[in-house]
Copies of this chain bind each other. A is one copy, B any other.
Amino acid sequence: MAETPDSAALGVMAMTRALDEARAAAARGEVPVGAVVVGPDGAVLAAHGNEIEQRADASAHAELLAMRAAAALRGSRHLADCTLVATLEPCAMCAAAAGHFRIRRIVFGAWDPKGGAVDHGPRLFDQPGCLHRPDWAGGFEQDVSATLLRDFFRQRR
């Protein structure tokens, strides 16, 4: 049997969880982005929303926090069999970190033409010298993710 149907279902569940993290971040006054690291069996190893304000740490993006937490859980600095699921296209910091953690695959929600670094800007995994290129795909639940962000910034204006 192909693993596709289960993978797809697990992917939807992981994005649902990442969107929950994004909503929880917004409720804390954080830009609503969420991320989940999923193991090869589909188990959620770690889930985080942005904690930039809460930690007073500009690097506390959901994706970086989730990858650090997953690595801590495993006691390993590599997550080579894991998928990073994020509600927004990762920035250069988080995309490069995904390379350092040797993440196998990145699945993201909304595209980010201004801050994204996977399919926009530096397109890090397309750089000639890139040492680790995760598979990636974007656009999953992009409307939900983009609406969360739009509503958040509209309320703060």
Contact = CB atoms under 8 A, between A and B. Distances in A.
A117 interface: yes
Copies in the complex: 2
Given A53-B77, A121-B129, A71 B58 contact: yes
A96 B91 contact: yes
Interface stretch (A37-45, A97-105, A149-157): A97-105
Given A121-B127, A124-B122, A129-B121, A77 B57 contact: yes
Contacts of A57: 68, 71-72, 77
A114 to B, nearest CB: 6
A79 to B, nearest CB: 8
A59 interface: yes
A133 interface: no
A52 interface: yes
Contacts of A120: 129
Contacts of A64: 59
Interface of A: 52-53, 55-59, 61, 64, 67-68, 71-72, 74-78, 91-93, 95-97, 99-102, 114-115, 117, 120-122, 124, 127-131
